[in-house]
């Protein structure tokens, strides 16, 4: 089952890259601007043959809060929303040990079902 989840997360990374936004799921390699796909919340069985997950997709700017930074973020969000279907993008600062004050970011929570068969 873990292999199927990892494969699904890797597929999300590739979809984000295909939409034109640099992406990774490795926090040690993440360098804004771009997207980081975080560890999922496992929500349980979606069907008899799949498991549901909520996957945080952070779109993070490397610019200080500014119109230019917001414009970049909005461009990324509008490119990615169609990838994830019916979802929302919430403006939430991305905080890390390197940036404890937080960087401008949007959080998209992708709903994913992973086949268990």
Burial 51-79 (b: 16+ CB within 10 A, else e): bbbebebbbbbebeeeeebeebbeebbee
Residues 78 and 30: their CA atoms lie apart, in Å, by 21
Sequence spans of domains, the chain? 2-115
CATH of domain 2-115: 3.30.2000
Which of 78, 59, 55 has its CA nearest to residue 69? 59
Q: Spell out the per-residue pLDDT of the chain, length 117, in tens.
A: 788 899 999 999 999 999 999 999 999 899 999 999 999 999 887 667 888 999 999 999 998 778 888 899 999 999 999 998 878 999 999 998 888 888 999 999 999 988 877
pLDDT at 29: 92
Tokens 């040690």 belong to: 28
Residue 8 has what pLDDT?
A: 93
51 CB-near residues (< 8 Å, 6+ apart): 1, 5, 42, 43, 44, 45, 113, 114, 116
What's the confidence (pLDDT) of residue 116?
Answer: 77
Query: Half-sphere exposure of residue 23, counting CA atoms within 13 Å on the CB side?
Result: 24
Res 97: pLDDT: 81
Coil, helix or strand at residue 13? helix
Cis status of the peptide bond prior to 33, with omega within 30 of 0: yes
**For residue 80, what pLDDT is reported?**
94
């Amino acid at each position: 089952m873990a292999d199927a989840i990892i494969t699904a997360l890797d597929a999300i990374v590739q979809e984000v890259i295909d939409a034109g936004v640099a992406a990774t799921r490795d926090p040690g390699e993440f360098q804004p601007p771009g997207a980081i796909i975080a560890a999922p919340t496992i929500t349980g069985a979606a069907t008899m043959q799949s498991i549901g997950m909520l996957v945080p997709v952070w779109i993070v700017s490397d610019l200080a809060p500014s119109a230019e930074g917001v414009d970049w973020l909005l461009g990324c969000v509008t490119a990615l929303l169609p990838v994830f279907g019916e979802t929302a993008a919430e403006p939430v600062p991305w905080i890390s040990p390197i940036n404890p004050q937080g960087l401008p970011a949007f959080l998209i929570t992708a709903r994913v079902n992973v086949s268990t068969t």
